[in-house]
Amino acid sequence: MTKIDEVLAYFDEILPNASCELEYTSDYSFLFAVMLSAQATDKGVNKVTKILFEKYKSLNEIALANEAELIKIVMPVGLGKNKGHNIIETAKVLLEKYNGKVPNDFGALVNLPGVGIKTANVVRCELFKEPSVPVDTHVARISKRLGFAKKDDDVLTIEKKLEKLIEPNRQIKAHHQFIHFGRYFCKAKNPDCQNCKIKQHCKEKF
Ligand code: SF4
């Protein structure tokens, strides 16, 4: 068994149902949740989006929102001014150019205000089930600790390495499992090394 097969088999054992923890009810509500999640926790984002989508019940209402009022709602997740502004501007573009739908096209997504490569990849992975392994802080840390990436690799390099290692039909699940393993087991501080069954592959010494 290769290292990646062993790691994924272990993840299947401890995290069989790992999935996206951002709550959403529509394509645009997922896109906005991902935009809000930059440097924030999914829990914090879920609290904010609950209030946000109770107040603004459609994409149209978001596009017409009073910017200061919307910013006040998203402020708790940090970078509220930028995020709030970008959400309103993106809502306008979705309505004007894409018939109110989130486009399944990488180039179109990264051209939306405030949407970067990672957000675009997460959206394509979750909404359109496009195989990929978007790299967040957890995926990056686990990849480095397990030696799938080098210490100084950037997120795009790590993403490419993981996508080369993991079969396309396994990538979406692996993406969620890496995140959950990082969030609940192999935390940045005080990882649960004592109970870790893949420690033979780990480069960290705790
Ligand atoms: S041994 Fe510890 S640091 Fe290494 S992968 Fe396991 S939990 Fe993470």
Predicted local confidence at residue 2, as pLDDT:
96
Amino acid type, 18: A
Ligand 1 closest atom vs CA 185: 7
Judge whether 135 and 94 are in contact, CB under 8 Å. no
Predicted local confidence at residue 188, as pLDDT:
95
CA neighbor of 11 nearest in space, from 205, 206, 166, 130:
166
- Write down the catalytic residue from 27, 83, 118, 173: 118
Mean pLDDT of 17-37: 97
Instruction: Tell the residue nearest (CA) to atom 8 of ligand 1.
Output: 186
Note the pLDDT tens digit of each residue in 133-170. 999 999 999 999 999 999 999 999 999 999 999 999 99
Note the pLDDT tens digit of each residue in 49-86. 999 999 999 999 999 999 999 999 999 999 999 999 99
Is residue 153 within a helix (H) or strand (E), and if so which, with residue range? none
Predicted local confidence at residue 3, as pLDDT:
97
Predicted local confidence at residue 205, as pLDDT:
72
Cβ < 6 Å from ligand 1: which residues? 145-146, 185-186, 191-193, 196, 198-199, 202, 204, 206
136: annotated active-site residue: yes
Note the pLDDT tens digit of each residue in 85-135. 999 999 999 999 999 999 999 999 999 999 999 999 999 999 999 999 999
Residue 206 has pLDDT above 80, yes or no: no
